[in-house]
Structure formats: structure tokens, C-alpha cells
Structure 1
Amino acid sequence: MTTLNEDLIYEILSAVEEIPAGKVASYGQIAQLIGKDRNARLVGKVLSISDYYGEYPCHRVVNHAGRLAPHFTAQRERLLEEGVTFKDRNHVDMKECQWDC
């Protein structure tokens, strides 16, 4: 089990900070980037408290199918402003917009 600590929080947020405008990454993708495969939920938990650590482009992280975060009402609008395309109201077009990291 992975223990959440300040170093891990900043590692996750640093990876999220690298996602370019107009692209999205999945929670699992971020977990893999930091060497914590199978910890996608932990990434989601950290992103839910990211405001305590500064401003990060957390709106660029979606689930593996491109689904938006259910309680992040501004996420869709922010992604649209960056040119991200959608398959439907709640799903980003992952084939078109997934970050190739």
C-alpha cells in the first residue's frame, strides 16, 4: 500500500503540471509516470486537495475513458477553452487529445 505524504503529493502535482494545454492525461497515466502503477485513485485523491498546494492544471486529468470528474463543474469549460474535443457532454475524445508522454 502506498502512503500519502508531502513528497508523493508534489510528485503527482509535478507530473500534472507537465500536461500541455489542449491535452489530457488519465489518472492511471499520472500514476504510471511517477512509478506508482495501480494507484490511479491516489492520484484522484491528491488532485481533489491540490488547491492547498497551489495552482495546477488538474482539469487536464480525466479517467481512462475520458470521463470528466463528477464534481468538477468547471472542468469541461476549461478544457473547451484549451481546444480539447469531446465525444459527448461528459467524455473527452481520448484518441484525439490524450497526452503522449
Structure 2
Amino acid sequence: MVMNFNQEVYNLLRLIPKGKVVTYSQIALCLGNVKLARAVGNALHNNPNPKLYPCHRVVNRKGELSKAFAFGGSGAQMKMLVDENTQFDRFNRVRLDICGFDIEKFIKSQN
């Protein structure tokens, strides 16, 4: 069951375009329950292939990076996002107003 949940998370990550981000709770909502946001974080931490499943494109609801980013900490996450031209504010938070991706709307548009 855990692998199915994790794989669902990873499949959603592949929908996020370069330069855009989603929040943990957005992923959780796509999976049916906003209370799964922490479980989403656990799935990201166990990502088997960060090149295929771009977990660096997930931030918290304030646009803050993960201090526990599994693939090199928040500095590595920031570098990956900067390389994709993701925009940050003066507090090093992702500008969700510019770079936020409405994954739910995208999924609905595909159906």
C-alpha cells in the first residue's frame, strides 16, 4: 500500500513543469486528503529517482524550501530551482504568485 501511495505522489511530480512548484498540501489534495501532506513529504524523502521524479519542485505553503531535502539539503534544492529559473523573494522563498503551479486545475483540464 505504501508503494502505491508513493508511486501516486511520484506520478504527480512528473506533471510539474520546470520553473514551477507545488506545495505538499496540493499533492495531498490531489490524492484525496489534505491531511496526507506529511505523508507526501515522507514519499519525497524516499524518492527512488529524483531526476525522473522532480521532488525539488515541492515546497511548503509559504514557498519555503525543505531543510531536510533528501538530496543535498535546502541549498541543493535552491540550486535546482534557480537552474530552472524559479523566482524567489528576498527571504529565499519561492514566489508562489509567479511560480506556483495549479496541479489540480491542470489534471482536470486533461480529463
Letter in structure 2 aligned against 1:65: K
- CA distance in 2 between counterparts of 1:44 and 1:50 reads 10
More helix by share: 2
Q: What does residue 17 of structure 1 align with?
A: 14
Q: What does residue 40 of structure 1 align with?
A: 37
Alignment of 1:6-85 (within 5 A): 6-51=3-48, 55-71=52-68, 72=73, 73-85=75-87
Q: How large is the RMSD of aligned CA atoms in angstroms?
A: 1.8
Q: How many angstroms does 1:33 deviate by?
A: 0.9
Match of 1:96 among 91, 95, 98: 98
TM-score for the superposition, normalised by structure 1: 0.87
Structure 2: 5+ residue stretches without partners? 104-111
Structure 1: 5+ residue stretches without partners? none
Q: How many angstroms does 1:19 deviate by?
A: 0.6
TM-score for the superposition, normalised by structure 2: 0.80
Cα-to-partner distance string for 1:13-56 (whole Å, 9 max, x where unaligned): 11111111110000000001111221111100110010368731
